[in-house]
């Protein structure tokens, strides 16, 4: 293993980049392994922020790399550095840094200044420094750390601005060269617009943008979005979502200007963008939308979406009719449809939804299906058509509109599943369906003939069903069985 080339080791270790424990153990194997792992660990050291003792380790390490003039500046301003007689580390860790997290640097600086102030007070039996002096010390320490990273790293690729206490670091020496090739930005809407205006002059190659709590406009961020040449991924997350009727018009319009390159749009935590923007996203591959029901005419505008290139759809709290219209706007490339809490559930909408999948989704691999369920067998026929058309289905969730008291009412549906489900199907979850033990046994007997084990998810209230399931688990017909609620499945 130790004779593997550096390139091979790097590929292997890079696949394990989230397995911190293993990577740290690789440091002790030999010099080659150590030299290969160190750049992976240090390209984003801020991800270890929550590890016990990390903050102290970080600022002690960074101080070792500060240039002499920075150390002199800090010392002359009364900031006590720990003894710098330690040897410089074998590796130039700062050079490997490709990610900048302003929040962690801010927090690290605060901890360091608090630590040095407390230590100075104990050693010299003085009163603690006043807040204004501590704030100034923190500002200086942050500034010198940022200057060092920006000037000494090989170039930053990822930037996180998660708080509003941010300095205009893009004016620091070397910032233009370091930030030019930035590809990923994470930020909150509370960041000073001036910061975004400054970045817009430097950063034109951001491909992935993640924003938090889009409940206010930020003209600076709007300008930054417009300035990009190839924005592909947009993610909007909410630490809080108070369901106001707010719509981020500025950011929404800026995203429309990026419609030519946008491939991924995720606002599943909640929607504060006017749905009319989606008629422009003709190149979108993946769409995740949450609750936007408080936006005026939300469904009406969403029904006009034009998403011919869509491959993945995850949507919640939206009418089945609207979802059907979205599916109809695609051109046959959808491979995954996840629906959480479908709204406006009628038999007519259910049939339209099923029919839309049948006609427009020949490549589908995962689907959430809805079944209204009554004495009319038209829905059963639609499901049969769907199963005969979507020949690549691997995972399927079927949700009945509501529970009923007719015990054997859904036996025919289970029979259709056993007879017409594509050979590729490996996972099935059913919710609120009611069928007899005999029907379940007949279904599993048919499945046995496929010789492909089934992962099966359902909640049974009677022991007789559980006994049947256990029997077919023993026979290897059922690979995995769990009693899972629909909300827990995803």
pLDDT digits (tens, 9 = 90+) for 444-470: 999 999 999 999 999 887 899 999 999
Residue 12 counted as domain residue: yes
Residue 30 counted as domain residue: yes
Alpha-carbon distance of 193 to 220, in angstroms, equals: 4
Distance, CA of 334 to chain centre = 20
Pairing status of strand 366-371 against strand 395-400: parallel
Residue 114 counted as domain residue: no
Task: Flag whether pLDDT at 226 surpasses 80.
Answer: yes
Looking at per-residue pLDDT, the higher value among 333 and 103 belongs to: 333
474-483 pLDDT tens trace: 999 999 999 8
Task: Flag whether pLDDT at 163 surpasses 80.
Answer: no
Task: Flag whether pLDDT at 490 surpasses 50.
Answer: no
Structure confidence at residue 373 as a pLDDT band (50, 70, 90): confident
pLDDT of residue 34: 87
Distance, CA of 30 to chain centre = 36
Task: Flag whether pLDDT at 434 surpasses 90.
Answer: no
Residue 25 counted as domain residue: yes
Q: Which of 120-129, 263-272, 293-302 has the lowest mean pLDDT?
A: 120-129
Average pLDDT over the chain reads 88
Alpha-carbon distance of 278 to 295, in angstroms, equals: 14
Task: Flag whether pLDDT at 123 surpasses 50.
Answer: no
Q: Which of 26-30, 135-139, 178-182, 226-230 has the lowest mean pLDDT?
A: 26-30
Structure confidence at residue 165 as a pLDDT band (50, 70, 90): low
pLDDT of residue 245: 62
Task: Flag whether pLDDT at 343 surpasses 60.
Answer: yes
pLDDT of residue 292: 83
* CA distances for 405 relative to 398, 411, 434, 471, angstroms: 19, 14, 8, 27
Q: Where do runs of H (alpha helix) occur along 54-128? A: 54-65, 68-76, 93-96, 102-124
Residue 358 counted as domain residue: no
Residue 446 counted as domain residue: no
pLDDT of residue 334: 98
Residue 426 counted as domain residue: no
Alpha-carbon distance of 56 to 480, in angstroms, equals: 46
201-220 pLDDT tens trace: 999 999 999 999 888 899 99
Task: Flag whether pLDDT at 242 surpasses 60.
Answer: yes
Contact present, 379 and 348 (Cβ < 8 Å)? no
What is the average per-residue pLDDT within 144-151? 94
pLDDT of residue 112: 86
307-336 pLDDT tens trace: 999 999 999 989 999 999 999 999 999 999
The pTM of the full predicted model, rounded to 2 decimals, is 0.90
What is the span of the domain harbouring residue 11?
Answer: 1-42
Looking at per-residue pLDDT, the higher value among 18 and 392 belongs to: 392
Structure confidence at residue 1 as a pLDDT band (50, 70, 90): very low
Longest dimension (CA), the chain: 87
Residue 11 counted as domain residue: yes
Tokens standing for residue 313:
């759809």
Number of domains within the chain: 1
Looking at per-residue pLDDT, the higher value among 135 and 357 belongs to: 357
CB neighbours of residue 282 within 10 Å: 16
pLDDT of residue 119: 67
Looking at per-residue pLDDT, the higher value among 264 and 375 belongs to: 264
- Candidates 195, 193, 192, 152; CA nearest to 62 is 152
pLDDT of residue 20: 78
């Amino acid at each position: 293993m130790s004779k593997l080339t550096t390139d091979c080791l790097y590929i292997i270790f890079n696949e394990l980049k989230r397995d911190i424990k293993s990577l740290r153990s690789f440091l002790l194997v030999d010099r080659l392994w150590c030299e290969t792992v160190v750049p992976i660990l240090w390209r984003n050291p801020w991800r270890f922020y929550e590890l016990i003792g990390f903050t102290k380790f970080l600022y002690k390490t960074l101080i070792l790399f500060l240039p002499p003039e920075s150390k002199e500046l800090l010392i002359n301003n009364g900031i006590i550095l720990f003894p710098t007689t330690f040897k410089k580390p074998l590796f130039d860790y700062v050079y490997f840094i490709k990610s900048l997290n302003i929040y962690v640097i801010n927090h690290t600086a605060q901890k360091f200044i608090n630590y040095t102030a407390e230590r100075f007070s104990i050693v010299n039996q003085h009163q603690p420094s006043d807040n204004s002096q501590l704030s100034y010390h923190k500002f200086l320490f942050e500034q010198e750390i940022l200057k060092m990273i920006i000037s000494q790293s090989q170039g930053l690729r990822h930037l996180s601005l998660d708080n509003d206490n941010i300095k205009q670091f893009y004016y620091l020496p070397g910032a233009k060269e370091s930030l030019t090739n930035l590809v990923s930005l994470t930020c909150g809407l509370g960041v000073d617009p001036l910061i975004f205006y400054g970045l817009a002059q430097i950063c034109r190659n951001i491909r992935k943008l993640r924003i938090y709590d889009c409940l206010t406009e930020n003209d600076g961020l709007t300008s930054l979005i417009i300035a990009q040449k190839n924005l592909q991924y947009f993610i909007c997350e909410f630490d809080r979502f108070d369901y106001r009727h707010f719509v981020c018009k500025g950011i929404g319009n800026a995203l429309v200007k990026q419609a030519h390159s946008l491939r991924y749009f995720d606002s599943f935590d909640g929607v504060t963008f006017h749905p009319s923007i989606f008629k422009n996203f003709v190149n979108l591959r993946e769409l995740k939308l949450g609750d936007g029901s408080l936006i005026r005419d939300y469904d009406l505008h969403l029904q006009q979406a034009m998403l011919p290139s869509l491959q993945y759809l995850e949507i919640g709290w939206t009418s089945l009719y609207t979802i059907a219209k979205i599916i109809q706007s695609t051109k046959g490339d959808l491979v995954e449809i996840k629906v959480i809490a479908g709204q406006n559930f009628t038999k007519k909408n259910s049939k339209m939804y099923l029919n839309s999948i049948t006609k427009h989704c020949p490549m589908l691999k995962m689907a959430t299906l809805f079944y209204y369920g009554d004495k009319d067998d038209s829905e059963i026929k639609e499901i049969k058509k769907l199963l005969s058309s979507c020949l690549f289905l691997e995972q399927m969730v079927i949700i009945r509109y509501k529970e009923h008291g007719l015990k054997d009412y859904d036996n025919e549906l289970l029979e259709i599943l056993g007879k017409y489900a594509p050979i590729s199907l490996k996972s099935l979850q059913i919710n609120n369906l009611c069928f007899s033990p005999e029907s379940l046994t007949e279904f599993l007997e048919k499945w046995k003939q496929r010789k492909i084990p089934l992962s099966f998810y359902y909640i049974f209230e009677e022991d007789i069903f559980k006994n049947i399931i256990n029997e077919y688990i023993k026979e290897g017909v059922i690979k995995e069985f769990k009693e899972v609620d629909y909300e827990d499945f995803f």
